[in-house]
């Protein structure tokens, strides 16, 4: 097969600039496979100068699996996109104005500044997120990505042994509660049942072990809440050390694709009075039955 995708690594382990494939047009299967293999290796790919419209972004994303709607499941009200599957990652209201500071969109921006993996609070969880930049602020507003594979590899052996059989409980509103954003009713709180995931898991595609943590974890099974939450915070701190992180500085027309089961990410501060508009499409993780069996086994081992 002729390789079309040219990859320039961005750090020692995570992230690569990807050239050579026009992602705004329909992809052939071999191009999709090339992108997937590059994702297995780098976990984050940066496509530059490819400003996709809504249809193009949805078409691109659908190559990699069914699309996720994430927290939109518990949101009410309108949005400005033609697709429920496009998340409005901006500080702009449905009417197109920069939102007031108390607006839920700003709260979402703040919550995105906590290290997380998209939709880890769901069964089925997210695999790839594809974020396209349309308006970027003058200062700040970078996005950082941390490599959960390198983070696992670099854990001391005693730590690996201690956490090997633990399960994290991920809950959709936990990171909001951490920020004091608690104004949700029962229907919203229970709309998405918490999801259980092993802290340590083997990526079925790359075969690498990952430290699957993040601020959606509200509890570690078998531990008291304080001990479990402290452990989760400690592991997040470990996983997000500089040597595991790629920091992306946005340009209009960038599309960054990341693997949510192999990385954590967070937005960085920017002035919410300035416009910042990005659009995200996200795939659900598609697990082949043999791989599902392995994940199930990892969960059972952890009981």
Q: Which residues bind ligand OGA (CB under 6 A)?
A: 89, 112, 118, 129, 131, 143, 265, 267, 278, 280
Residue nearest to ligand OGA (CB): 267
The alpha carbon of residue 153 and the mean position of all alpha carbons in its chain are separated, in whole angstroms, by: 20
**Residues sharing a CB contact under 8 Å with residue 83, sequence separation 6 or more, in sequence order:** 54, 58
Q: Which does 131 bind (CB under 5 to 8 A by kind): ligand OGA, Mn ion, none?
A: ligand OGA
Q: Return the number of the residue (86 or 163) whose C-beta is nearest ligand OGA.
A: 86
Q: Determine which residue in the list 118, 144, 203, 298 makes contact with Mn ion, applying CB under 5 A.
A: 118
Alpha-carbon dihedral 277, 281, 125, 256, rounded to 10 degrees: -70
Residue 149 to residue 202: CA distance in whole angstroms: 9
Q: Which does 210 bind (CB under 5 to 8 A by kind): Mn ion, ligand OGA, none?
A: none
Q: Which does 61 bind (CB under 5 to 8 A by kind): Mn ion, ligand OGA, none?
A: none
Q: Return the number of the residue (167 or 236) whose C-beta is nearest ligand OGA.
A: 236
Size of the site for Mn ion (CB under 5 A): 1
37, HSE (Cβ side, Cα atoms, 13 Å): 11
Residue nearest to Mn ion (CB): 118
Shortest spacing between CB 256 and ligand OGA, in angstroms? 9
Shortest spacing between CB 18 and ligand OGA, in angstroms? 18
Q: Return the number of the residue (36 or 277) whose C-beta is nearest ligand OGA.
A: 277
**Is residue 43 packed enough to be buried (19+ CB in 10 Å), middle (13-18) or exposed (0-12)?**
buried
Q: Which does 280 bind (CB under 5 to 8 A by kind): ligand OGA, Mn ion, none?
A: ligand OGA
The DSSP line for 194-220 is: -EEEESEEE-TTT--EEE---TTEEEE
Residue 295 to residue 303: CA distance in whole angstroms: 13
Q: Return the number of the residue (88 or 298) whose C-beta is nearest ligand OGA.
A: 88
Q: Which does 11 bind (CB under 5 to 8 A by kind): Mn ion, ligand OGA, none?
A: none
Q: Return the number of the residue (116 or 208) whose C-beta is nearest ligand OGA.
A: 116
**Is residue 72 packed enough to be buried (19+ CB in 10 Å), middle (13-18) or exposed (0-12)?**
middle
Residue 280's nearest CA partner among 104, 70, 121 is 70
Q: Which does 148 bind (CB under 5 to 8 A by kind): Mn ion, ligand OGA, none?
A: none
**Residues sharing a CB contact under 8 Å with residue 66, sequence separation 6 or more, in sequence order:** 283, 284, 286
Quick one: which segment of 79-87, 118-126, 167-175, 201-209 binds Mn ion (CB under 5 A)?
A: 118-126
Q: Return the number of the residue (134 or 209) whose C-beta is nearest ligand OGA.
A: 134
Burial 274-301 (b: 16+ CB within 10 A, else e): ebbbbbbbbbbbebeeeeeeebeebeee
The yes or no reply on residue 259 touching Mn ion (CB under 5 A) is no
Given the rule CB under 5 A, which residues bind Mn ion? Answer: 118
């Amino acid at each position: 097969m002729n390789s079309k995708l040219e990859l320039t690594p961005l750090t020692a382990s995570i992230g690569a600039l990807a050239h050579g494939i026009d992602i705004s047009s329909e992809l052939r299967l071999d191009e999709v496979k090339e992108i997937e293999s590059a994702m297995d290796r780098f976990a984050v790919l940066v496509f530059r100068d490819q400003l996709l419209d809504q249809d193009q972004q949805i078409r691109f994303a659908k190559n990699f699996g069914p699309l996720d709607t994430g927290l939109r499941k518990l949101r009410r009200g309108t949005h400005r996109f033609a697709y429920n599957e496009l998340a409005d990652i901006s500080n702009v209201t449905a009417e197109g104005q920069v939102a007031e500071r108390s607006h839920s969109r700003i709260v979402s921006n703040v919550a995105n500044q906590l290290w997380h993996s998209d939709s880890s609070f769901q069964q089925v969880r997210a695999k790839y997120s594809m974020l396209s930049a349309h308006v970027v602020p003058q200062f700040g507003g970078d996005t950082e990505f941390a490599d959960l594979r390198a983070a696992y590899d670099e854990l001391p052996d005693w730590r690996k042994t201690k956490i090997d059989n633990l399960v994290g409980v991920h809950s959709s509103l936990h990171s909001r509660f951490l920020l004091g954003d608690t104004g949700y009713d029962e229907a919203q709180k229970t709309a998405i049942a918490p999801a259980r995931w092993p802290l340590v898991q083997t990526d079925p595609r790359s075969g690498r072990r990952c430290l699957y943590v993040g601020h959606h974890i509200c509890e570690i099974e078998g531990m008291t809440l304080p001990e479990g939450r402290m452990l989760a915070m400690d592991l997040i701190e470990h996983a997000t050390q500089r040597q595991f992180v790629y920091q992306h500085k946005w340009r209009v027309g960038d599309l960054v694709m990341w693997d949510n089961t192999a990385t954590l990410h967070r937005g960085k501060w920017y002035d919410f009075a300035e416009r910042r508009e990005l659009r995200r499409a996200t795939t659900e993780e598609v697990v082949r039955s043999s791989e599902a069996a392995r994940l199930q086994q990892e969960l059972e081992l952890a009981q």
